């Protein structure tokens, strides 16, 4: 057992853990955040995707100690501009029917957030590449791709309008 | 959580890492973990000690060195594909890094880890419960291969996307075993795949790769064929760097994902070298030779999600790649 500290969504979480604990276990069991989902639990489905130092990773195949002292962002860390407001990508998923059962959605949101941070107006091929490590059994992906595209366009319009 | 318990160690210099690996009887190096951790979850690998390599800054260097580019083994596939020197000079390596699995794997998976990945087999990459109903194979300490019971070695396939590219680029691997040693990357690959078909473990640390500056007029390419764009391993990948020179054709054409090790298509390149002119007929014949050579050297085994017939049909694409390669103006 060893004590480690991970910064999750801007807050520090310190726990005594064994080395065989994954980052997914740490987030769900130690930090008590259940937004990050356990799907395949072997690095295939993407439902456990979180951002580690800004880059998407599969939390289920990342050891918690590999994230020691680093910054992690989970779906709970996505926030809108005002308190209680959804993040603009979350809102776009609702507005454009990017969700059916919703189990893959936290992972999809996290890869979308990483993509739009790097490329504010991505091409459709960029979006498809970004979500290529995430499986969705309901939507057929079309509305997910569309939602991300619309999130990007709406955000740029909004920022342009604010100037 | 991984079912079995182990201890992680975080050395801060190469000598310490190597000394610990030598001293600890059941230890494995941990690079990005994207290959190793799932195997540990499956109970295929149960090391008592993991020696982390992510605290060794000398494994993350990328710089121009001795007329080429030195790339540290612990750089992630994401970092490599974004690096300006890779973008400018080694597009085939950049593309191979972009084509590995998914963005999540590229964020964490490393160049060295991709090259030293475990070979895969439908009888090996299974849960402990599943495997408990079959006898041990070469890779798990037994004396047989379930894919080919008459085989005297493990036939599991090697799917690395970066290995064929580094081989085609003439890269040299830099390893550390108390001293630094340089070796042709194909030698390291061969040693790795042989060891990986047994239960032997590597104690040397892969520090990085030195890639020589491409010759003038070099043609460089990487192509990956897979059932879907991501997540799955290649049905076949092809990499080449070839250039005309006074001595003939320099460079190599390498195919991966079809055998326990990448395949060098040397007969095909030799035929190109001996051809007087790349006429349409000559291009077609050389393309046919490439397929013949590949089929002769590949060792197809059963894989999940793809039949042997589909796999054989996919290999025909090598003829198209060779014909297109011979059509380029660089040879005229």
Question: Which among B11, B27, B102, B130 is the top mutation candidate for probing chain A, defined by the most A β-carbons within 10 Å of its own β-carbon?
Answer: B102
Q: Which tokens sit at A109?
A: 């949101």
Quick one: how many helices (H) and strands (E) in chain B?
A: 14, 12
Query: Mean pLDDT lowest for which of A4-8, A85-89, B53-57, B300-304?
Result: B300-304
What is the predicted pLDDT for the residue at A161? 62
**A40 to chain B: closest CA residue:** B38
CA separation (Å) from B75 to A115, B9, B106, B195? 21, 20, 10, 24
**Beta-carbon-side half-sphere exposure of residue B6 (alpha carbons within 13 Å):** 30
Query: What pLDDT, in 10s, does the model give residues A26-41?
Result: 999 999 999 999 999 9
CATH architecture of the domain covering A88-161: Orthogonal Bundle (1.10)
Q: Which residues pair with A56 in a beta bridge?
A: A51
pLDDT of residue B305: 82
CA-based nearest residue to B36, from B107, B117, B110: B117
Q: How many Å apart are CA A32 and CA A50, to the nearest integer?
A: 15
SS3 B180: strand
Q: What is the pLDDT of residue B330?
A: 87
Tell me the pTM: 0.95
Which of A25, A114, A132 lies closest to B1 in CB terms? A25
Residues in chain B within 8 Å Cβ distance of A56: 103-104, 107
| Domain range list for chain A | 2-77, 88-161
What is residue B329's predicted lDDT score, i.e. its pLDDT? 87
Would the CB atoms of A129 and B103 count as touching at under 8 Å?
yes
Q: Residues B177-201: pLDDT tens digits?
A: 999 999 999 999 999 999 999 988 8
With a cut of 70, say whether residue B130 has pLDDT above it: yes
**How many residues would you count in chain A?**
163
Common-topology check for domains A2-77 and A88-161: no
- Compute the mean pLDDT over every residue in chain B, rounded to the nearest whole number: 95
Half-sphere exposure in the Cβ direction for B38 (13 Å, CA): 18
Backbone angles phi, psi at B87, to 5 degrees: -60, -45
Token pair 């990017």: residue? A98
- Distance, CA of A16 to CA of A30 (rounded, Å): 9
Q: Best residue in B40, B50, B103, B130 to probe A by mutation, most A CBs within 10 Å?
A: B103
Confidence tier at A75 by pLDDT (50, 70, 90): very high
Which chain A residue is nearest to residue B34, measuring alpha carbons?
A61
Report the 10 Å Cβ neighbour count for B166: 30
Do residues A109 and A93 make contact, with C-beta atoms less than 8 angstroms apart?
A: yes
* 0.90 surpassed by complex ipTM: yes
Nearest-CA distance A61 → chain B (Å) = 6
A115, pLDDT greater than 70: yes
> Is residue B59 pLDDT above 70, yes or no?
yes
For residue A41, the chain B residues in CB contact (below 8 A) are 41
Dihedral, A84, A87, A92, A95 alpha carbons, nearest 10: 0
Q: Between chains, do B107 and A55 touch, taking CB under 8 Å as contact?
A: yes
Q: Do B8 and A19 touch (CB under 8 A)?
A: yes
CA A77 to chain centroid, in Å, comes to 9
Asked if A65's CB is within 8 angstroms of B38's CB, the reply is: no
Q: What CATH number was assigned to the domain covering residues A2-77?
A: 3.10.20.30
């Amino acid at each position: 057992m060893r004590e480690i500290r991970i910064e999750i969504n801007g807050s520090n979480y310190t726990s005594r853990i064994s080395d065989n604990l994954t980052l997914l276990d740490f987030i769900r069991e130690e930090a008590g955040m259940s937004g990050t989902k356990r799907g395949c639990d072997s690095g295939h489905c993407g439902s456990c995707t979180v951002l580690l130092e800004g880059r998407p990773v599969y939390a289920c195949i990342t050891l918690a100690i590999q994230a020691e002292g680093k910054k992690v962002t989970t779906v709970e860390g996505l926030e809108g501009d005002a308190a209680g407001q959804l993040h603009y990508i979350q809102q776009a998923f609702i507005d454009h029917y990017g969700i059916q059962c919703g189990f893959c959605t936290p992972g999809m949101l996290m890869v979308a957030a990483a993509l739009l941070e790097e490329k504010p107006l991505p091409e459709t091929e960029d979006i498809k590449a970004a979500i290529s490590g995430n499986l969705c059994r309901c939507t057929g992906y079309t509305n997910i791709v569309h939602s991300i595209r619309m999130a990007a366009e709406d955000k740029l319009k909004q920022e342009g309008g604010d100037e | 959580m991984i079912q079995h318990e182990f201890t992680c160690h975080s050395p801060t210099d190469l000598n310490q890492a190597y000394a610990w690996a030598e001293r600890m009887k059941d230890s494995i190096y941990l690079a990005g973990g994207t290959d190793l951790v799932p195997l540990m979850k499956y109970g295929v690998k149960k090391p008592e000690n993991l020696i982390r390599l992510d605290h060794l800054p000398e494994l993350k260097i990328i710089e121009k060195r001795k007329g080429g580019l030195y790339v540290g083994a612990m750089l992630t596939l994401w970092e490599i594909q974004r690096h300006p020197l890779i973008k400018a000079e080694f597009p085939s390596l950049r593309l191979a890094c972009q084509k590995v699995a998914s963005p999540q794997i590229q964020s964490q998976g490393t160049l060295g880890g991709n090259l030293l990945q475990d070979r895969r087999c439908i009888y090996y990459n299974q849960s402990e419960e599943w495997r408990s109903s079959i006898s041990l194979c070469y890779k798990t300490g037994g004396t047989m291969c379930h894919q080919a019971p008459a085989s005297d070695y493990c036939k599991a396939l090697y799917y690395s996307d970066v290995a064929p590219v580094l081989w085609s680029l003439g890269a040299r691997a830099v390893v550390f075993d108390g001293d630094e040693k340089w070796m042709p990357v194909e030698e390291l690959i061969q040693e790795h795949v042989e060891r990986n078909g047994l239960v032997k473990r590597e104690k040397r640390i892969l520090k990085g790769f030195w890639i020589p500056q491409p010759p003038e007029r070099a043609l460089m390419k990487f192509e990956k064929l897979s059932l879907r764009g991501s997540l799955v391993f290649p049905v076949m990948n092809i990499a080449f760097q070839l250039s005309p020179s006074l001595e003939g054709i320099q460079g190599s054409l390498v195919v991966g994902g079809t055998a326990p090790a990448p395949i060098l298509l040397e007969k095909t390149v030799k035929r190109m070298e001996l051809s007087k002119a790349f006429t349409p007929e000559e291009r077609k014949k050389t393309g046919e030779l490439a397929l013949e050579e590949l089929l002769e050297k590949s060792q197809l085994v059963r894989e999940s999600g793809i039949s042997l017939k589909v796999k054989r049909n996919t290999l025909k694409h090598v003829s198209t790649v060779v014909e297109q390669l011979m059509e380029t103006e660089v040879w005229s």
